[in-house]
């Protein structure tokens, strides 16, 4: 790989993280055209330990490592990273310093990260009740076998049709815990809570009275009251398909190998679909009354 990279154009892909031992690490990958394999290759370059995660330290670490391998930053034609200011800021970032070393370099942000941030930002505009339910319902079951077993029993009793039966979950399933770093979880959490809504209402109505500790009883009552609020239900009904569509597109871009044309087409369709929800064909903004929230929303409203 190093022989092929010397004096050849390449793209840098980097990400910074901290391991369980609190050691700061910088993962560096390179993408280049392999004349031997006659294809575009993406290779792991190194996992670099850093003392600090300031843009200057990160840039110097990358530059020194490449220089030690006989690779010049002036040959870097592409730079991909997340949206952290230390990575892509216009001033005092890795990107700003890299652009000085290689003026023709092109910046490519991680689309998966951007999509996840879009959903995270949008959820910040929703009432805090929604975020509370998404975090506290999975949290309620996550560390208690007794609570999970009680919910499974209630679910099976209420499932009159008998076509869906829950067995004792191994972990917190069917309610995965919400995570800011796991980008494909929010839609699953929303869908699970939405499809279990009536069972959850019944469960927390019963479990509130059964709690011996005052703090647990208070939290159960809070969740019960939020589940009984029709507005919260409608928020989740309208948000679930949108989040699921974001995560479907996100998952496509996380594939190891996918046709670039297909990915571009999917992204354009996704953008146009979102735009059509809020704007008329002439570009004017739709009124709240004319926005289509979906058949499920209209049925429940």
Closest by CA to 106, choosing from 114, 115, 95, 97, is: 95
Q: Report the C-alpha gap between 299 and 237 in whole angstroms.
A: 10
Domain end residue (candidates: 68, 92, 109): 109
Do 189 and 159 lie in one domain? The reply is yes
pLDDT tens for each residue of the chain, 301 residues long: 788 888 889 999 998 887 766 788 899 999 999 888 888 888 999 999 888 888 898 999 999 999 999 999 999 999 999 888 888 888 889 999 999 999 999 998 888 888 998 998 998 899 999 999 999 999 998 888 888 888 888 888 887 655 555 554 444 456 788 776 777 889 999 999 999 999 999 999 988 888 878 888 999 999 999 999 999 999 999 999 999 999 999 999 988 888 889 999 999 999 999 999 899 999 999 898 888 877 777 777 6
Do 178 and 90 lie in one domain? The reply is no
Domain end residue (candidates: 109, 140, 174): 109
Q: Report the C-alpha gap between 80 and 87 in whole angstroms.
A: 9
Domain end residue (candidates: 109, 142, 163): 109
Domain that holds residue 179: 117-300
Q: Report the C-alpha gap between 180 and 165 in whole angstroms.
A: 30
Instruction: Name residues whose C-beta falls within 8 Å of residue 181's C-beta, 6 or more positions apart in sequence.
Output: none
Structural domain count of the chain: 2
CATH number of residue 39's parent domain: 3.30.420
Does this model's pTM top 0.85? My answer is no
């Amino acid at each position: 790989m190093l022989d092929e990279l010397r004096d050849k154009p390449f793209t840098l892909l980097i990400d910074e993280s901290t391991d369980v031992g609190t050691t700061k690490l910088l993962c560096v990958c390179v993408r280049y055209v392999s004349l031997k394999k006659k294809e575009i290759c993406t290779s792991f370059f190194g996992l670099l330990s850093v003392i600090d995660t300031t843009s200057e330290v990160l840039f110097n670490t990358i530059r020194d490592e490449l220089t030690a391998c006989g690779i010049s930053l002036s040959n870097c034609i592409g730079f991909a990273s997340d949206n952290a200011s230390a990575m892509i800021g216009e001033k005092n970032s890795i990107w700003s310093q890299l652009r000085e070393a290689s003026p023709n370099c092109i910046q490519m942000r991680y689309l998966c990260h951007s999509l996840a941030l879009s959903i995270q930002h949008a959820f910040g505009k929703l009432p805090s009740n929604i975020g509370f339910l998404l975090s506290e319902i999975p949290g309620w079951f996550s560390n208690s076998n007794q609570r999970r077993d009680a919910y499974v029993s209630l679910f099976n009793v209420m499932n009159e049709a008998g076509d869906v039966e829950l067995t004792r979950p191994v972990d917190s399933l069917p309610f995965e815990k919400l995570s800011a770093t796991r980008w494909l979880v929010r839609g699953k959490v929303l869908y699970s809570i939405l499809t279990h809504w009536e069972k959850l209402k019944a469960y927390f109505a019963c479990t509130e009275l059964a709690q011996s500790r005052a703090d647990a009883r208070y939290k159960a009552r809070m969740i019960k009251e939020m589940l009984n609020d029709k507005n919260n239900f409608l928020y989740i009904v309208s948000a679930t398909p949108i989040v699921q569509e974001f995560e479907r597109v996100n998952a496509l871009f996380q594939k190891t190998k996918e046709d670039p044309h297909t990915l571009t087409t999917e992204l354009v369709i996704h953008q146009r679909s979102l735009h059509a929800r809020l704007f008329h064909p002439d570009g004017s903004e739709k009124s709240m009354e004319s926005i289509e929230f979906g058949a499920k929303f209209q049925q429940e409203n």
